[in-house]
Structure 1
């Protein structure tokens, strides 16, 4: 997790592994000291499908990081992603006693334990637990139930679970590369940590992270995660469509997408798509590129909207949509997203005011920055909770009740 006041984190992305070394300041702020990124090998859908290649990629990424900031890395926090993750809601009740009495901190811990004890598939384990709200005797919307008189305490929480096999495999790859796994965080929640503000999470917002092989999303409201998920389509599928439509290589299609990609036909001159079906190779024009890319991009965004499912809840997201990831950088993505979701949309790729961000080369750094922020937040909050709990003040109780998302221990058992 951290080495002294240093934090080492690595994002296992579908197109690149990206690692950071950050330092926690006296005020809890982060400063980037070094970074590295290497093209992904042996990794697909959140799992190492070729352990030898994946291990070499981890080792290269960490060696480059060590060289960039002149430190010796022994372990790191890493991202967990892929279609094996499940987003579930869990509710647990706890009888307080034979009669009403003030609720104690121990009662909150007991109901939290009951939330975690929900029935899971035998091959899954819990990755994160995020409290959504408490209720006392059916009175909902309670932030801190400690001290409130009642006879029954209820807690609603959002849980993310993952495949034990995949999570074991991630740890095994890290250990095979001679590093120590120091905890995981769900990648889209890490990206949300770095890109979303507190007021946005409170008002309601959906984060859409368009990666290479998949698109991850998470919905927040009233400061808590409501749901998250993965669509198995991303920027690589846009590239593949371009390669097929223009009859060019995948590498050339990727270059066209990055330099001249347009996903909204209304932004360019309209052209006939008949050229796509002729024997001769079609000439690349902005109109033809948009005609190829728009249907796929619209499909990806529509799948995200469909997967969330609750259109009434979606309409309540006052902060709209924040879109990020390499697949979202084509011209017109923001406008197309507004059409699909019927919500205001912002494109965002780095958190504001992060020290040392000028050191970062081009790439998608939001997730690995978020991993570092999660570790820093937990370290600072743990110290604050300990001190505040000793003082017995309200801040201590609030932080203890709504403490940061619990992350399971690094062992997958």
Structure 2
């Protein structure tokens, strides 16, 4: 049996937690269960294919608080002790301390490193915490990173041997139940809306409101920034100039809408190492649905766009460059050059960015059973 521990409520983001667990289970001809916390204001998603494989463990306090996390760990410990899995998968550095609680040590432990550890350096007890994580990291058999530069950085930080590392892009499996829709000359942005870390920093400027952008997501960040951004997005919506904010939608709704858009916008502000070297789910999700991307020059995104001609890469992160590239994308929409980019998305998915190909590479690297 395989048990995966998630630190987020599934169905809104981090789709690779379910996908990787499923694929790894198939690779090893094993069954799996995923443990997730009950995060306030996140409704438990029950209408997806693997809902019966997910166990929700509620806590009295918020599961991301110190006390709530400890309560979540205790319940995970009981589940692991009861079922004694062959493989334990953890999906965040914050979850590694659960290994200290286990009386039973699974034969294989995998760290699916979806989030970076950079924010942990800002912790009040950062030296103690890193020392603790370095000790716990010795128990990890396989390290799965979504991006090469992040793998190199963390390998040096935690002295991880190369033979334990595999770089697995955040590949996305399109839902076969959603049929492609006729494309419209609009750009989709779906994801984090934070003035300090995302493209939302440009959405407060009326010159950007003229762009044909449909925005999905909820305002995040400090209360002051949330209020500022929410006010600007509501003003843009009322102005009806082009940019329109739809608010938060779940992953399945986004899947059903995505294929109709001309492009999908991918953009994090490079304020931290991990944001510069982002491996955005929305990038791979767009390609899976045949939607070219407009991306800021994040190394991994830039590499795939140049390799497969599946979108446009901005020269920098400025507002002017955002406007220029979006306008270029709309100008190209419907041309043979645009159709070539749509073809590039399919080539990327068929040749490299799919689970079958990636799991074969992983199985070869770690000498696991062959993946069908």
Relative to the length of structure 1, the TM-score reads 0.30
Considering fraction of residues, name the structure with more strand.
1
- Greater RCO (Cα-Cα under 8 Å, separation 6 or more): 1
Relative to the length of structure 2, the TM-score reads 0.32
